[in-house]
Structure 1
């Protein structure tokens, strides 16, 4: 099973929430496992979409307490590692889809690209060398999964 990291800000506007929710739905429909940071914003939206379609969501929390996971996470991993948990998300993902984001998302994209992972972004805060930019959730998932199915 392909594991796709969905990364982005813990707080997002309605447009990005809808985009992330749709990305989660499509990934679940395609049989992928969604990995994210387990909190709110883009993470919650992608988890909500994936679960709506019967998918599995692994939330890698920065905290020591599982109670902080959003209600749509299937499997909660409490790391007590803060931002260092981004390394777990990157290394556990076969490809990543970034939706909006801030410094944490930029660091995850950079680490993933350095590790040779495919990273597709919708409305990225910066365009790093090697980053693939997509306009829609459908395009993002298609580009992320190229070669995996």
Structure 2
């Protein structure tokens, strides 16, 4: 799987030892063991955790930071890409990904989830493996109803709701072979 990049979106809040952080760290590790590069927002929380897990597995990491935040990337980032603003950051995170994983998060993560889905829905990017954890199920279900109403049922198939690390990793691995 070397050469493929997985963009992972998630919260900046979880800290080491919290279940959400440890889930992200193990996910990064398992993806890293397969040789995937991990790309994320480069800061703390699940961004740090997925990068840390990937580095512990010997994989490469990319952090897409934002100049306006004036923050430094976490120590697990190999390559920092500095975006001038959030919009450029979104564009870079999406363009780097061969697959996308959306972990728990707030409004920023919701924007990322929605944007990837919308770009696939409108055929502005090619469909790629796209996983969201169960946390996003209520939004996925509500949007699925609306997409059916709008006669865009094919867009529902772009998102897979998976809450198990092994299942996520296997889905991404199979999809990118």
TM-score greater than 0.5 by the shorter chain: yes
Residues of 1 paired with 2:134 and 2:61: CA distance?
Answer: 23
Between structures 1 and 2, the one with greater strand share: 1
After superposing on structure 2, the runs of 4+ consecutive aligned residues of structure 1 that deviate more than 6 Å are: none
- Write the distance in 2 (CA, Å) between the matches of 1:64 and 1:57: 22
Q: Secondary structure at the match of 2:84?
A: coil
My pick for the range that moved more, 6-15 or 121-130, is: 121-130
Task: Report the more deviating stretch, 63-72 or 81-90.
Answer: 63-72
Residues in 2 aligned to 1:67 and 1:111: alpha-carbon distance in whole angstroms: 24
Quote the offset at 1:143 in angstroms: 1.5
Q: Equivalent residues in 2 for 1:1-149 (5 A)?
A: 1-12=3-14, 14-63=18-67, 68-113=72-117, 114-115=119-120, 116-125=127-136, 126-127=139-140, 128=143, 129=156, 130-149=158-177
Q: Which has the higher helix share?
A: 2
8 Å Cα contact 1:17/1:42 also seen in 2? yes
> How many residues are treated as equivalent by the alignment?
149
What SS is found at the alignment partner of 1:34? Answer: strand
Secondary structure at the counterpart of residue 31 of structure 2: helix
Q: If you compute each CA radius of gyration, which structure gives the higher value, 1 or 2?
A: 2
Q: Distance in 1 between matches of 2:43 and 2:174?
A: 28
2:129·2:175 contact (CA, 8 Å) conserved in 1? Answer: no
Confirm or deny: 8 A CA contact 2:6 2:99 kept in the other structure. Answer: yes
The alignment yields a C-alpha RMSD, in angstroms, of 1.9
| Conserved 8 A contact 1:66-1:76 | no
Encode CA deviations 1:1-57: one digit per residue, 9 max, x unaligned.
Answer: 111011101112611101100110011111101000000111000000000111100
